[in-house]
Structure 1
Amino acid sequence: MAMTHDFAALITSLDLPAKVRLLTGASAFSLAPEPTIGLGEMRFSDGPTGVRGLKFVGGRVVSLFPNATLLASAWDEASAYEVGKLLAEEAMAQQIHVVLGPTINLHRTPLGGRLFEAYSEDPLLTGKLAAAYVRGMQDSGIAACLKHLVANESETDRNTVNSVVDEATLRELYLLPFEIAVSDGGAWSIMGAYNDVNGQAATEQQHVNNEIVKGEWGYPGLIMSDWFATKTAAAAANGGLDLVMPGPDGPWGDALVAAVEAGEVKEAVIDDHLGRLLLLASRVGALGEQRAWPSSLPSPSSVVRREQLTRLAAAGMTVLKNDGGTLPLERSQSVALIGRHAVETIDMGGGSAQVNPPYQVSVLEGLRALLGDKVSVTDGVDVRTRPVPARNGFLTAPSNGQPGIDVTIYDADGNELETRYCSLAKTMIGMDDDFTAPAASARFSGVVAATGPVELGVMGVGSWSTSFDGAFELRVSGGGIGEEVLTPPARTFVVESPGSLLFEATVAFEDMGLYGLVGNMASRETVDVIDDAVRAAAAADVAVVVVGLTEEQETESVDKTTLGLPGAQDALIEAVAGAARRTVVVVNAATPVLMPWLSRVDAVLWAGLPGQEGGHAVAAALLGDIEPAGRLVTSFPAADGASPAWSVTPVDGELRYDEGTFIGYRGYHAGRAPSPAFWLGHGLGYATWEYSDVRLVLGDAPSVTATVKNTGTRPSREVVQVYLRPVEPDEPVRLVGWESVTVAPGESARVTVHTDRRLWRKWNTQAASWDRLADGGEFLVARGLGDIRATVS
């Protein structure tokens, strides 16, 4: 890296231990200042769907955005730029310098538990949207961080798995989104992944980090580790890693100083790492004169945020099926709203993407706000197998009567260290606290207002005693890093509540972890629940069944085992469809689900994980107040196992990417799996379209022009997609460009789609260089590959 004279002088003024100290975090989410060179503290925050701040759980109230796949479904770079700008505002409100996002790993297999954080199965779509998001964020002086470099598409054994990927696949597919976000977006930082790549840890990747990213791409920015991912001193420092997170402990420190003194690492390598850190600091206003933070920014519950988050969520929602103009709903219709997800809408995924929002609007609240008493509601079947902290005010804190719990934390001698109110009925202990002594135990309390049989319980690693269930131990079951935080163990029991029931529990613990109280109504028999739903459906003009996944399936650290809806949700839909005049299914999930009932329902709206305004956004989409003009960002398989790449389970520690570049729609098109239920790019919106006069304009990267006519009755947004089918039989079809246009009913528009020249190349492994695809091939102009409108050679 070519450092400016100023950086070189600052670096030279520090001794080796001082330099190395700056290359490991000072805390869980901050970097140490160095006043002698004018370096201030830098503060990081997780940020895929909201800028959480410095605390993993229970931090300040922040805006909860729609999840990445839902935002990406707009296929709109301007929208992605706006999201980056808004997240920068959320960061500035908390004096955060670096937001840890976007996640730009690909949807290799639909089983990936963390797909909800990532944009798409396509590298061009992912890269272009990520670049726009990065520009939006960094135009406000807040650094984005591309993650996770690289081949990190699943969660099973994520800390030890060796992803085996051939060089052509690595460069043409998995590195391409990073390359685009670096070249087109100018991202200031990148995060190295947990996994190994071809036998070498991502944090030690001489080939990827040094030769490709910093070498071939000329990347001047910083590469940091994922949290706790770095295992070595010399190997990681020499392998291109610039910063170890979190701190203050880690594998560098004295060990890295010793490695330099022993000649295992050149001091020039340390200087390069520090130069990149200082460049980042100068970009975010933490070097020299410290940046001034704006004092007036929209609050998470402000009117402006409500409009932005509702519009962004609804615009990405995707109409998968709409027979007979069932959607949009008419305001005169009576609606039977059915399903657990209708009353407890899932607005965010699990793991490090979680934030503390001001509220989460359910679909019930959203529809009732627009239709009032025309909406009846029937709770659905159970959708979870694992207990979760109490939601929606089921438990209230004795201290203030607000939704949540009270927690008092003690040291080993029983002295009180802190009492805190936790609105989420859960809290992190030991990770980001600053107590006067080590925490050893805690007391939890909450009040149950409900009457009747209720399920109560506790979650977290330790020795528990409760006011209803005696004493017991809870321990983690697996060996994954962070299990006590990401998937803590729980135990529940059913008691009869007379109303205003005090629930107390104490725990003695040994280390950090996530702790909380479980609380909800006890489960009812499935047959009784479905009977209630059938009666409600038969009595209404239209039944809207809201089904989906939860953070059990869509979470960091755990992959899915099936695409089937959990519990008896399929049976619920079948029964309702048999009784209702018309049936609309809303899928509250970020990733593909199986739809064995598809032929028996009238309409399907895919709603993603829609953020804090989720219910308002679903209601606006169902009623057509905002057109759900989304297009799928990943193909939906027709059955479990029926995708070009499926397994996420390593064999002998290895996960082999043997499908090469034929993932998702590329593999389906090549016949490597049965046709999908829905292709990438599919989405009906609320209009119909005619395509005409499709022409090819030649050049280094050709363009395609077409006239599109809105043959529907409403203004609508069309996304014109162009795919290239190369002449080489071993090269997959690939998306090469897209363009959107909004057209009034009966009107036409001329659209030009510029293709991206980076999709015209293939990696020559023998020559270790790029070749251009052979001339010829065909352009497919399409609304997804299941609806090709024109072919031009």
Structure 2
Amino acid sequence: MHHPDQTRPDLSALIARLDLKAKVRLLTGSTMYGLHAEADIGLAEVHLSDGPTGVRGLTFTSGPPVALLPNATLLASAWSDEVLHETGRLLAEEARAQDVHVVLGPTINLHRSLLGGRVFEAFSEDPYLSGRLATAYVRGLQERGVGACLKHVVANESETDRHSVDSVVDDATLREVYLLPFEMAVADAHPWSVMAAYNRVNGVSATEHDGLLNGVVKGEWGYDGLVVSDWFATRSTAASANGGLDLVMPGPVGPWGDALVAAVSAGEVEERVVDDHLHRVLLLAERVGALGAPRQVTAGLPRPDGDLRREQLTRLAAQGMTLVRNERATLPLERGTTVALIGRHAVDTVCMGGGSAQVTPPHQVSVADGLTALLGSAVRVVDGVEVRTRAVAARAGSVRDPETGDGGVHVVLLGADGAVIEERHERAATSMIGVDDDLPAPVAEARFRAVVPHGGPLQLGALGVGSWRFTVAGAEVGRIELRLSTDDAGEAILRPPSGTVLAEVPDGALVEAVVDLRAASGLGRPGRMAGAGLFGLVAGPAPRDPAVVLAEAAAAARDADVAVVVVGLTEEQETESVDKSTLALPGDQDTMVRTVAAAARRTIVVVNAATPVLMPWVDEVDAVLVAGLPGQEAGHAVAAVLLGDREPAGRLVTTWPVADGAAPAWSVTPVDGRLVYAEGAFLGHRGHAAGRAPAPAFWFGHGLGYGTWDYTDARLVAGAERPGAAVTVTNTGLRRSREVVQVYLRPADPGQPVRLAGWQAVTLAPGESRDVEVPTDLRMWRRWDVATATWALLPAAGELLLARGLGDVRAALPLSDD
């Protein structure tokens, strides 16, 4: 945030006061999430935090409880600039409360292949929708003096071999599709930082891509902000410094430092290049209040578990939920209805994705808790089939620290000599070792100790690379060795291996899991990360016979007025560092839905997943609600929507295919290191509309809400350079409802795909009508002329489509290029 009442510092003069070594020092982080201070020029530390769905703070785990927002696809499904602006302002408050200066978001890579592990972090398959929502998010965040960071530049749409994959994208597709959301946000919101990706782009690492970083971002776009590397992404010294990267993260070590000083001395990098990088670092610091006069402390910020946050997060989650099927007006439910609520996702609702998007929330409300709070004894809850193949850390409520009595575990870290280095209470039953901490000696062994109040036949186990040993009441019950499955050092942090043993545990018994980290280097862990990673204690019920579970579900469904089956994915599929292999629901969830549908009078399926899943049973059920990953108030939001207290007015941000592979882009596996974007600009709905993939199960833009709509008097309206469209919409339903009028451009040239060119939302009472005008964005009328390397405008020929998603086109307006 600029300080108009103060004299802004002369950044060039400040830079001139530093010698080369001092300058270069400021171009690599000081810690995992911090930048160096320099008292001689009035520079304070700058703090960065991961933040797609919450501001985690300056540690990967063990930070204070913070608000957990709905995930990006759910927020985007509201198709609302206002929702994303409010999201940015909320995140800024969360950042200010933790002295965070820069939030590492939004993620505006596209949903190219639905197998992508981080699709849940990004807004949409559509570049225009993504760019417009990113603009609102950045504005909301930076209005309150907290920097945004657009990520990841560019063509970073999958996780397989993510540190080495070469994304091969033709120039026109790169410009018209994958760079467009970044271009829009830079032009319209002026973000203070952007992040260079792990991957290569057409053979060149993103962190040293002169053509993209210097040529396009800083050159053509005139971007004056900071370009930061993704964490551990920078692999070179001179090439990255000359290629446009400004800041290497994390620190304090990396490929710059003394090596960059030497490169300048050898004439490989000019000192003016270093000065430009530092100018951008200092400009960021000045903007966020870390250079010169410090920013004021903001008092009275909302608590993450306070009433204001609960209301906000419930409302934001509900607004994006999308009703994709609703036969016989099954939803909303009437109060007094008896409900059989079935499924593991009902009792253990997944509120966030895995990897760097994870935070420690104050609570996570399950669908069972939310619906029971509204309907009481009218709800019968039945656990469902297993949904995970990997073990998960014990929940804080299921184990207690033997030292403090609080929910969680007691962790003891020991050195090679057996001396205690540190003891911790961990609420989440997991502990990050060797990443967030600053310990006086390497950790050789870690002990996780917990009391299990309610015993029985349990799965005991662990997360994290090493040699593990388990005891119950002092008696050994098993050993396991856990290894990494890939050469990605991030796996130990983001997706640590897990394993379990079955044990009989008496009520109130002390359970201990001990991991020997000295064996880590022999267990597939890269040397740089030896002894570092996420570790945790697993303690949970032993698996049940699926046949018994299904019989219980069918019996409950027969006895109720309606069955609500909650299905979905978990952090095994929706996570950083790994891609999916299928869109099918894991485990026996499809069988569970069909079993319930055969027994129930009416069946509603709630999909607790951020990304599309296959629904082979869709014609056998009455309603399907896509609930996404709804954040900490998940259950309250789902319950409010099911009962009609809030409308699920969302529209799909991604096309849902009918089968694996039935999409324009599919494979995320590089061939000889290359991942070719062969579909070009025809990804998602663009490719389906062109016949390059089978008709989908549900189109991009689809969503029923709780209203019905008539479109009349559709017409073209004049624009500054290209026309827009207008239409009269009438709410013909029985409830107040929100409609999203979508306008698509279908160019006359068949080589150009149909594309979203504008939208406008309107909320109307039953019987109310309103004229809605939708201007089109001129950027959606462009094509990149490869021969001249410039933009050219498409002719005003073809047609504009007024639609409720491309599966429900209400009017086609011919264009004339006269």
TM-score by length of 2: 0.96
Match of 1:735 in 2: 756
Shift of 1:452: 2.5
The answer to whether the 8 Å contact 2:341/2:379 transfers is: yes
- Aligned mate of 1:479, from 465, 487, 504: 487
Partner of 1:677: 697
Equivalent position amino acid for 2:146 in 1: I
| Residue pairs, 1:38-53, within 5 angstroms | 38-53=42-57
Corresponding letter in the other structure for 1:109: S
**Match for residue 714 of structure 1 among 735, 756, 765:** 735
Query: Which one of 305, 308, 312 corresponds to residue 301 of structure 1?
Result: 305
Question: Aligned letter for 1:138?
Answer: Q
Which consecutive segments of 4 or more residues in structure 1 shift more than 3 A? 468-472
| Residue identity matched to 1:179 | E
* Mean Cα deviation higher: 693-702 or 87-96: 693-702
Identity %: 64
Shift of 1:58: 1.4
Q: In the alignment, is residue 117 of structure 1 matched against residue 112 of structure 2?
A: no
Say what the alpha-carbon RMSD is for the aligned residues.
1.0
Task: Please list the CA deviations of residues 441-471 of structure 1 after superposition, one character each: whole Å capped at 9, or x if unmatched.
Answer: 1110112223432111011112222214344
Matches within 5 A, 1:773-788: 773-788=794-809
SS of the equivalent of 1:128 reads: helix
Aligned to 1:334: 338
Equivalent residue for 1:363, pick from 367, 376, 394: 367
Instruction: Return the alpha-carbon distance in structure 2 between the equivalents of residues 197 and 298 of structure 1.
Output: 42
Q: Note the C-alpha offset of 1:698.
A: 2.4
SS at 2:759's partner residue? strand
Q: Residues 474-514 of structure 1: CA distance to partner in whole angstroms, max 9, x if unpaired? A: 22121113111112122201112332222101112142111
Aligned to 1:13: 17
Determine which of 180, 186, 206 is the counterpart of 1:182.
186
1:400-549 aligned within 5 A = 400-467=404-471, 468-509=476-517, 510-549=530-569
Is the contact made by 1:458 and 1:517 (CA closer than 8 Å) also made in structure 2?
Answer: yes
Does 1:554 pair with 2:574?
yes
1:316 aligns with 2:337: no
Report the alpha carbon displacement of residue 392 of structure 1 after superposing the two structures with TM: 5.6
Q: Which moved more, 1:431-440 or 1:381-390?
A: 431-440
Helix, strand or coil at the partner of 1:184: helix
Q: Structure 1 regions of 5+ residues with no counterpart?
A: none
Alpha carbons 1:27, 1:246 under 8 Å: kept: yes
Residue in 2 that maps onto 1:101: 105
**Structure 2 residue 699 is matched with structure 1 residue 691:** no
Instruction: Please state whether the residue corresponding to 2:450 is helix, strand or coil.
Output: strand
**What is the CA deviation profile of residues 116-169 of structure 1, one whole-angstrom value per residue up to 9, with x for unaligned ones?**
000000000000000100000000000000000000000000000000000000
* Separation in 2, partners of 1:374, 1:775: 58
Q: Which moved more, 1:693-702 or 1:351-360?
A: 693-702
Amino acid of the structure 2 residue aligned with 1:337: L
Q: Which residue is 2:525 aligned to?
A: none
Distance 2:531 2:634 in 1: 36
Alignment match, 1:703:
724
Shift of 1:400: 2.7
- Whole-Å separation in 2 of the counterparts to 1:171 and 1:469: 58
Could you say what secondary structure the match of 2:605 adopts?
strand
Choose the corresponding residue for 1:584, options 594, 601, 604: 604
Contact 1:321–1:603, Cα closer than 8 Å, also in 2: yes
Distance (whole Å) between structure 2 residues aligned to residue 415 and residue 454 of structure 1: 32
Give the structure 2 partner of residue 635 of structure 1: 655
Q: 2:201 aligns to what?
A: 197
Output the CA distance in 2 between the equivalents of 1:389 and 1:792: 56
1:159, 1:481 within 8 Å by CA — same for their partners in 2? no
Match of 2:37 among 33, 36, 40: 33
Matched, 1:747 2:768: yes
Q: Secondary structure in 1 aligned to 2:459?
A: strand
Larger deviation, residues 563-572 vs 284-293 = 284-293
Alignment partner of 1:612 is 2:632:
yes
Alignment of 1:36-75 (within 5 A): 36-75=40-79
For 1:733 and 1:571, how far apart are their aligned partners in 2? 37
What is the DSSP-based 3-state SS (H/G/I as helix, E as strand, rest coil) of the residue aligned with 2:157? Answer: coil
Larger deviation: 206-215 or 408-417? 408-417
In the TM superposition, 1:385-400 aligns within 5 A as: 385-391=389-395, 393-400=397-404
Residue 774 (structure 1) shift: 2.1
CA contact (8 A) 2:396 2:428 kept: no
Deviation string, structure 1 residues 394-446 (Cα, Å, up to 9, x no partner): 22221233321110112222222221111111110011112222222111011
Report SS of the residue matched to 2:481. Answer: strand
1:228 pairs, out of 228, 232, 238, with: 232
In 1: Cα distance, 2:396 partner to 2:706 partner: 33
Q: 1:664 aligned to 667, 675, 684, which one?
A: 684
SS in 2 for 1:159: coil
Cα shift at 1:5: 8.1
Distance 2:189 2:317 in 1: 23
Structure 2 SS opposite 1:546:
strand
Aligned partners of 2:451 and 2:508 also within 8 Å:
yes
Count, aligned residues: 790
Q: How far, CA to CA, are the matches of 2:380 and 2:804 in structure 1? A: 36
1:398–1:447 CA contact under 8 A, matched in 2: yes
CA distance in 2, matches of 1:681, 1:474: 44
Q: Deviations over 1:21-73 (max 9, x none)?
A: 00000000000100111111000000000000011011111000000000000
Write the distance in 2 (CA, Å) between the matches of 1:472 and 1:575.
37
Counterpart Cα distance in 2 of 1:17 and 1:508: 40
Distance in 2 between the 1:438 and 1:521 partners? Answer: 34
Q: Secondary structure at the match of 2:148?
A: strand
> Shift of residue 391 of structure 1?
2.3
Match of 2:521 in 1: none
The secondary structure found in structure 2 opposite 1:731 is: coil
The whole-number CA distance in structure 1 between the counterparts of 2:480 and 2:551 is 38
Superposed CA deviations along residues 293-320 of structure 1, whole A, max 9, x for unmatched, are 2122011100000000000001100001
Residues 113 and 665 of structure 2 are in contact (CA less than 8 Å); yes or no, is this contact kept in structure 1?
A: yes
Q: How far apart are the structure 2 equivalents of 1:548 and 1:669?
A: 27
* Native 8 Å contact 1:728 1:774 kept in 2: no
753, 756, 769: which one aligns with 2:777: 756
Q: 8 Å contact 2:414–2:445 — kept in the other structure? A: yes
Bigger Cα displacement from structure 2, 695-704 vs 69-78: 695-704
Q: Aligned partners of 1:170 and 1:293: how far apart in 2?
A: 42
The range that moved more, 158-167 or 489-498, is: 489-498
Secondary structure of the equivalent of 2:10?
Answer: helix
Contact 1:228 1:246 in 2 (8 A): yes
Give the TM-score taking structure 1 as reference length: 0.99
- Amino acid aligned to 2:690: A
Separation of aligned partners in 2, 1:326 and 1:519: 39
User: Which residue of structure 2 lines up, in the alignment, with residue 283 of structure 1?
Assistant: 287
CA deviation vs aligned residue, 1:556-613 (integer Å, no higher than 9, x gap): 0000000000000000000000000000000000000000000000000000000000
The DSSP-based 3-state class of the residue aligned with 1:313 is helix
